[in-house]
Amino acid sequence: MDGFRIPVGDWIETGVDWLRDNLDGLFDVITVVVRFLVDGLTDVLVATPMPLMIAVFALIGWLLRSWQMALGTVGAFLLIVAMDLWIPTLQTLSLVLVATLVALVIAIPLGIWSARNDTARAILKPVLDFMQTMPAFVYLIPAITFFSIGVVPGLVATVIFALPPGVRLTELGIRGVDSETVEAGQAFGATPGQILRGIQLPLATPTIMAGVNQVIMLALSMAVLAGIVGADGLGKIVVQSVSTVNLALGVEAGLGVVIIAVYLDRVTAALGSPSTYRSSLLGVMSRSRADRRAVPGPAASDAQDQAEQESLLSAGSRTVG
């Protein structure tokens, strides 16, 4: 067996070269779109006066969480300003927000598909395992090959690295919805689409938002590594501090990343609260009941409708509880 080697890496490199030579136009379009989104959002955030931007962040924290979070947000972002890291922080925030949005646009539909189709689940599971266990640095190599250096390969690698938790937790949330609740919706005559939008997704929201949290955390960690390929922001400062052994600069940039991570974590956790799911359930029941009454035939009594409604809400409460 001496000298025997399977050149898997050479095969993959050949495939990457083929893609680069034959899909150059597609990669150019992706480059233009990514730069437009990231640079556009960065320009908007940077152009907004710093006090107003901090006030907006604090207002979001107040509306979604509490006044304590609003005060903490003001203090944390003023610390970033005091460390002279305001613009790099906004650049990193733009990269993370766009990467998270793109990852979720891909991950949530895939998670729904996987939850509703066992064949899709069997196909996606090994692919997600591969994506989740591959070292993060490896994603930068083909990204540089396709998109040169800068923010574009950083964002593409970030999306690929952060995608799996969004798919897995979306699937887990939908599969975890109590079957009695789904059956109650079917008893009202709700279509599969109505059940998905009005019952399964609202009840799965806490689990899906946990996936959003994981996507954001992985995007932040990869956004720092994206500094290696020239993406602007805190990651680039971390790379510079490593290359110059500048401990003070590295700690300050790392603290900026932590502040962004904590803020986004608290906001997404608040968005994942299950307290508003009842309105969605009632909406599904109202539409389904109206559809049933429009069909000729014996009409259900008001007492029966009320009993079914209470049964559905009771089942949903047990699921959320």
Say what the pLDDT of residue 272 is. Answer: 63
**Do residues 108 and 208 lie in contact, with contact meaning Cβ atoms separated by under 8 Å?**
yes
Q: Is a pLDDT exceeding 50 seen at residue 256?
A: yes
Model confidence pTM above 0.85: no
How far apart, in whole angstroms, are the C-alpha atoms of residue 307 and residue 36?
A: 53
Out of 1.10.3720.10, 1.10.101.10, 3.30.420.10, 3.40.50.2300, the CATH code matching 19-48+83-178+191-276 is 1.10.3720.10
pLDDT in tens, 84-127: 899 999 999 999 999 999 999 999 999 989 888 888 889 988 98
Q: Is a pLDDT exceeding 80 seen at residue 36?
A: yes
DSSP codes joined into one string, 24-47: HHHHHHHHHHHHHHHHHHHHHHHH
Q: Is a pLDDT exceeding 80 seen at residue 44?
A: yes
* 3-35 per-residue burial string, b: 16 or more CB within 10 A, e: under 16: eeeeeeeeeeeeeeeeeeeeeeeebeebbeebe
Tokens of 16: 């990457």
Lowest mean pLDDT among 11-25, 171-185, 243-257, 289-303: 289-303
> How big is the chain by its Cα radius of gyration, in Å?
24
Alpha helices in the chain (DSSP H): 8-22, 24-47, 50-64, 67-82, 86-116, 118-133, 136-147, 151-175, 179-187, 192-195, 201-225, 234-243, 247-271, 277-294, 302-320
Say what the pLDDT of residue 150 is. Answer: 79
Q: How confident is the prediction for the chain on average, in pLDDT?
A: 79
Q: Where are the domains of the chain?
A: 19-48+83-178+191-276
Tokens of 287: 């539409």
